[in-house]
Structure 1
């Protein structure tokens, strides 16, 4: 028994275990999660991590960073994403968020003090754990706030993430422009993610899970009955309950997958979300290597400024697209196809130029277009989903995108018979987006023509029915 922090019990003692440490019930967790998101994303070293690794600090070669270090993050993410997705709900989110903060600290500490390829690989492997734990961050808030605040809280959390990333990139650019060594950018990054880790420890622990709570509750109830009725309850009984829970969880996952992907329209939005994620992270991972190729040993590069401006521009475009009045179920696929073609064109031109400023400009265009397109996919998918399936579908989309990225990395970079140079890699990425554009343009034209034909038939049927009514 204790005081009711959420004020649900008024001035009476709380017997119900209301635990959210905020008089409004949602402000406290939201503020803490926004601080965590801002600090964990404010990583000034990231826009210059390739320069840091290949410079005098670590003395790695561009080929080592391209083919031995960065692919570790790609492959590890593909392996870790599903286990983390399954464990996150069972552990009720907060422990996984704390783990994410801890892995961020560990990864950037290794980047700061480690030396050699193996230390860099270990840092990127640990970093992949943090990236896989993103599903816990985006799911946690829905387990501690009332549904009426979901839209507002989601907006705050996403704004904190984008502002943190933009602030980190802008701070990096300012420090580099004033001649501050990259070593100190790594220190600032380590301090920022350490604050995020400390903040995560103060997040309230959800009482129940969000997605498999019913299955777990049923098994727990059954277990309680067994405890009361039998003195032989022991470890094996608990193991049996856990096995039943896992079995029910997987059956629920399979049924939910069937329901979620039964709609052809939603399936295509999921396809773009997965394939777009693959291409975006592949380009983002290797863009610094391309810039090092275009302008070697350029300590006064403007990588951070470009990252900051393109992030803010993409965020503004994402907000704007949310206010566009368009029948997305009809025109959405065609819009995705058309703008994906612009992305492909930007990548082609980014690769062909030898001018760093032109390359910066087309990267800005690439990122500004991608972010609103992924926003379109997100809200179109969310419209069709039950709340409890959000993490499942978005997690599966992320998993498919990461697997595709691993395959693309293996083929383009790590196949000994191929091992394309960085310029040829970007030609491949541009061709990849062009293929996606072709698929969605064809599908979009078919959808528009099909919907127009269906409406024509519906209008004709209504007119005939009206005529028959007048005749009668």
Structure 2
């Protein structure tokens, strides 16, 4: 399958999986009939389960994404989202809502599979392009979902239940799309690894050679390239879990070599935590500021997403 077609499939997955108009109105849905949960129950007994399940699931998903080669993690995210909305629509008790939040936490942790899948498919020179596509896909899906939600609620064309039913339909659609993802074969990973190691070794070798030996390098380039390929092949013979763990630890050394990556990672972690704190609890604040008939959660989230897209 051509890589451009794969990019289209992955982008479609991103748009549809984020097309969940129920998200801005989750709290109003749960506190209104027939659910009738209280704000105290939501924010002390239900919503915290997402936070901790996401934290717990994030670590194994980080390792399993590489070990299982991405596609199973993407499918797991789709299935977990489907389970989330099944319980949201038909669940009635607190413990069922807690399971719903755990399922959503697993889905959130598995997003790493979707976000990194294309990097194994495309050439390095297209990394920025596909990264922008995957991010834009999620923002586009959210924008249209939130706009539709606000339209349906403001003009009384639908209820909160309808929003969840639409969301359920969307997350069901992404399961076959996830299954349609081409599998990441060991050959693809091996090819990527060999290419990276070859480039690194060539770069290191070039930096160690002085300028007065340039002609000698040209004369022996073919021999050197063959030696590099053989060296890389030898390094890739052992594919055990221990080797994988050593590889991960080796990759983490980038923090000691590049302080900018460390600073960026710290700031990303802090801002992500802040963002999730706000989005998880802001609907409770909005509920105290508005009447049921004047609910503008959807347009607020829609504008927020639009600003994020423009930035």
TM over 0.5, shorter chain: yes
Q: Aligned partners of 1:181 and 1:93: how far apart in 2?
A: 37
Partner of 2:64: 87
**Which residue in the other structure is 1:148 paired with?**
125
Q: Identify which of 265, 269, 274 aligns with 2:264.
A: 269
Aligned equivalents of 2:140, 2:279: Cα separation in 1: 18
Larger Cα-atom Rg:
1
The answer on whether the counterparts of 2:254 and 2:261 sit within 8 Å (CA) in structure 1 is no
Q: Does 1:40 align with 2:35?
A: no
| 1:185 alignment partner in structure 2 | 163
Report the Cα offset of residue 122 of structure 1.
0.4
Higher relative contact order (CA 8 A, sep 6+): 2
Aligned residues: 271
Counterpart check, 1:246 vs 2:241: yes
Give the drift of 1:262.
4.1
Q: Deviations over 1:171-216 (max 9, x none)?
A: 110110121111110000001111111211111112136499679x
1:107 pairs with 2:102:
no
| Per-residue deviation, 1:253 | 1.9
Q: C-alpha distance in 2, partners of 1:126/1:139?
A: 21
The alpha-carbon distance between structure 1 residues 246 and 299, as it changes in their structure 2 partners (threshold 3 A), is: farther
Summarize the alignment of residues 272-287 of structure 1 with structure 2, pairs less than 5 Å apart.
Answer: 272-287=267-282
Superposition map of 1:72-471 within 5 A: 72-179=49-156, 180-208=158-186, 210=189, 221=237, 245-295=240-290, 298-317=292-311
Q: Which runs of 5+ in 2 are unaligned?
A: 198-232
Q: How much does 1:293 deviate?
A: 2.2
CA distance in 1, matches of 2:256, 2:111: 23
Q: Distance in 2 between matches of 1:220 and 1:140?
A: 21
Change in Cα spacing, 1:149 to 1:255, as seen in structure 2 (3 Å) is closer
CA distance, structure 2, for counterparts of residue 271 and residue 188 of structure 1: 37
Structure 1 partner of 2:210: none
1:6-25 equivalences under 5 Å are: 21=1, 25=2
Query: If the length of structure 1 is used for normalisation, what is the TM-score?
Result: 0.55
Q: Distance in 2 between matches of 1:94 and 1:265?
A: 31
TM-score, normalised by the number of residues in structure 2: 0.82
Give the whole-Å Cα distance in 2 for the aligned partners of 1:213 and 1:87: 18
Find the residue that maps to 1:298 and give its secondary structure. coil
Unaligned runs of 5+ in 1: 1-20, 223-243, 318-472
